[in-house]
């Protein structure tokens, strides 16, 4: 997340991103995952062309949406695309709070998915 050549994208919906996200992440402000392809073409592609970013890193709650989004972007020729395996849930389990880049509440994640 510290690499200036990497765009970090939150693939979750607006409700989820309002509760918390990773420091410096791009919020596509989508209402549904169905909105992601349109956002990728209308906003992400021009942003990459403008900034010359080489890599994309995506995350979501449990890892499924960001894996699908990664696959979609790769199929569309976006280049080097990665996702957070296991999503935010796995990250919060493995990374000590003092080292975490998460900003916001993690409570909805735990209560909603366990």
Residues assigned a catalytic role: 60
Give the 3-state secondary structure of 45-113. HHHHHHHCCCEEEEECCCCHHHHHHHHHHHHCCCCEEEECCCHHHHHHHHCCHHHCCEEECCHHHHHHH
């Amino acid at each position: 997340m510290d690499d200036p050549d990497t765009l970090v994208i939150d693939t979750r919906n607006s409700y989820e991103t309002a509760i918390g996200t990773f420091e410096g992440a791009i919020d596509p402000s989508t209402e549904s995952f169905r909105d992601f392809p349109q956002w990728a073409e209308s906003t992400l592609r021009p942003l990459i062309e403008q900034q010359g970013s080489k890599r994309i890193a995506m995350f979501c709650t449990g890892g499924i949406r960001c894996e699908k989004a990664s696959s979609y972007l790769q199929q569309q020729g976006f280049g080097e695309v990665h996702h957070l395996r296991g999503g935010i849930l796995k990250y919060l389990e493995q990374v000590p709070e003092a080292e975490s880049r998460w900003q916001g509440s993690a409570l909805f994640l735990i209560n909603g998915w366990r």
